[in-house]
Amino acid sequence: MSSLDLKLKRILVTGGGGFLGRQVLEQLKLAGATPEKITVPRSQDYDLRQMDACQQVVQNQDIIIHLAAHVGGIGLNREKPAELFYDNLMMGTQLIHSAYQAGVEKFVCVGTICAYPKFTPIPFKEENLWNGYPEETNAPYGIAKKALLVQLQSYRQQYGFNGVFLLPVNLYGPEDNFDPGSSHVIPALIHKVWQAQKQGEKSLPAWGDGSPSREFLYSTDAARAIVMATQKYNDSEPVNLGTGSEITIRDLVELICELMEFKGEIIWQTDKPNGQPRRCLDTERAKKAFGFTAEMDFRQGLKNTIEWYRENAK
């Protein structure tokens, strides 16, 4: 398995200031990339929904790692489906086209597990990606991201453009987004338990009935996988990034309560949506294609995340 030497490569990381992005920058440096050759375009300077901004940022770059996304949990997906569809589609499709036009050597696009059909056989295999419509609340975001896979495959076929597409499962870890208005399940729950403790609450409301399952990938593992794919993967087929193990939301809530020493009663709000019934990935392709296996123990990863939040919570 030949590996791309990153030392002399000029690398653009969109979303490099974000939760996953900061970890990717760290892993790039560990993999030998030259810090001075890594560029992170900031959203206040470049609106990547605009073609001219995309054309500017790709100039003189060898590799683009596209992490930037407008993303959130079930609440945001229900409230702003049009924005999630438009923003993610425009950013991605114009960036890919600009990169191709500028002669960029490689484009690494980070997609989303929300692209999978609502009812996908467990574990999710990459070849099942097109076998149905995504879970409704996630669909606008998921389909916008999935369109970028089609674009990369067609640009490879017609132009020989080297674009790869990765499908990370739900991420978690220190420095995550803990804003209750837009956060995903783990940071949202940690914030909720912390608030309940602070206010002396005796119970904790939780969305749905606790039956769905989710798989979670620690941010450092995800970043390592993205950098490994950047170095070693050059194929058109999408690749899952995950751990291959799942936990029910009920067990997750109970585990977070245990780790945070919250003794109150959990009240399941069954009038609220559950989201996709199950999520668990087949991770064999990543292992075979570029040697990636997740390393972080889930319980330890949660402890690290909770500890970071407690130290940084306002």
Give the active site residues.
Answer: 141
Integer angstrom CA distances of residue 131 from 47, 165, 228, 245: 34, 18, 28, 22
Helix or strand holding residue 70 (H, E)? none
Could you give the CA distance from residue 312 to residue 178 in angstroms, rounded to a whole number? Answer: 10
Query: 3-state class of 202 per DSSP?
Result: coil
CB 95 within 8 A of CB 69: no
Within 8 A by CB and 6+ apart from 55, the residues are 98, 101, 102
Could you give the CA distance from residue 299 to residue 58 in angstroms, rounded to a whole number? Answer: 40
Query: 3-state class of 233 per DSSP?
Result: coil
Could you give the CA distance from residue 71 to residue 112 in angstroms, rounded to a whole number? Answer: 10
Could you give the CA distance from residue 189 to residue 131 in angstroms, rounded to a whole number? Answer: 32
DSSP structural state of residue 181: T
Could you give the CA distance from residue 273 to residue 5 in angstroms, rounded to a whole number? Answer: 46
Could you give the CA distance from residue 288 to residue 126 in angstroms, rounded to a whole number? Answer: 14
Could you give the CA distance from residue 67 to residue 166 in angstroms, rounded to a whole number? Answer: 10
- Token pair belonging to 185: 């399940």
